Amino acid sequence: TSSPILLEAVGVEKRYDKFAALAGVDLKVRAHTVHSVIGPNGAGKTTLFHMLTGTKNVSGGRIVFDGHDVTHEPDHRRVQRGMARSFQVTSLFLTLPVRENLRLAAQGTAPRHALNCWHAPLGTRSQADVVASVLARLGLERHADTPVGNLSHGQQRRLEVGMALAARPKAIFLDEPTSGMGIDDLDDMKRLIQGLKDEHTVVLIEHNMNIVMDISDTVTVMQQGRVLAEGHPHAIRSDDRVRSAYLGNM
């Protein structure tokens, strides 16, 4: 694809004492694509997410988002610029209905979504519009009034994505949205993520290789804090260095 570059990392480093969790990572994420980051445990995927979204400071390098150098901007400023992150740990209000969870996220007052809560405030009317459109995306309209605790695991995981969507981001960062899911839920999550490309850009950490290969436009493979390979899923799948990094597990 040749859509414009929305997010770029240039030589991003993260050191913990002498250990380099990221040893100079370059990344270009094009708008309206699904860009996956894969790699063995400890490769630096989550650390890269921390750098891109501003939850931790870089030790070196530069991050440009939507034409702005955001390298030294705090996370909430980056949220205002249009980044939202969905967290691996569950962050939903289980006793409140689905709609109310999304309303709190759209309003920017869901405390456990503090990171995503700095987007421009919405009027009541447009809040309702955002909630309705997110409900439709999630396929949870029928469950709008259901307490979140009564949803299936897969529905709850989709709602976590929806909480980030309620901040109306340009780019949404998903860290293992499918972990621990059964087949049916996987298909729903895949469809949800692919459907986001019309309005958003998706940066995805994902361990399930079938999903990565199915839904990604671009795959970046990390190993030991560096980019080992980057390209179209087909090219990545047949890349010898990638195959040996995964010991043939693709």
Under the rule (CB under 6 A), what is the footprint of ligand ATP? Answer: 16, 19, 21, 39, 41-47
Short-list 109, 131, 129, CA closest to 119: 109
CB-based contacts of 44-50 (< 8 A; 24+ apart in sequence) = 44/14, 44/222, 44/224, 44/225, 44/226, 45/205, 45/222, 46/175, 46/205, 47/14, 47/21, 47/22, 47/225, 48/9, 48/12, 48/22, 48/222, 49/85, 49/173, 49/175, 49/203, 49/205, 50/14
Q: How far is the CB of 176 from ligand ATP (least distance, A)?
A: 8
Q: How far is the CB of 15 from ligand ATP (least distance, A)?
A: 9
> DSSP character for 189?
H
Contact 4, 146 (CB under 8 A): no
Give the nearer residue to ligand ATP in terms of CB position, either 104 or 202.
202
Short-list 66, 38, 32, CA closest to 52: 66
Give the nearer residue to ligand ATP in terms of CB position, either 43 or 159.
43
Give the nearer residue to ligand ATP in terms of CB position, either 43 or 135.
43
Give the nearer residue to ligand ATP in terms of CB position, either 82 or 225.
225
Q: How far is the CB of 47 from ligand ATP (least distance, A)?
A: 3
Q: How far is the CB of 197 from ligand ATP (least distance, A)?
A: 24
Q: How far is the CB of 40 from ligand ATP (least distance, A)?
A: 7
Q: At residue 68, what is the residue type?
A: H
Q: How far is the CB of 221 from ligand ATP (least distance, A)?
A: 11
Q: How far is the CB of 249 from ligand ATP (least distance, A)?
A: 13
Give the nearer residue to ligand ATP in terms of CB position, either 23 or 166.
23
CA separation (Å) from 207 to 28, 234, 247? 21, 17, 14
Q: At residue 14, what is the residue type?
A: K
Give the nearer residue to ligand ATP in terms of CB position, either 44 or 162.
44
Residues with Cβ < 8 Å from 174, sequence gap 6 or more?
86, 161, 164, 193, 202, 203, 204, 205, 206
Give the nearer residue to ligand ATP in terms of CB position, either 32 or 207.
207
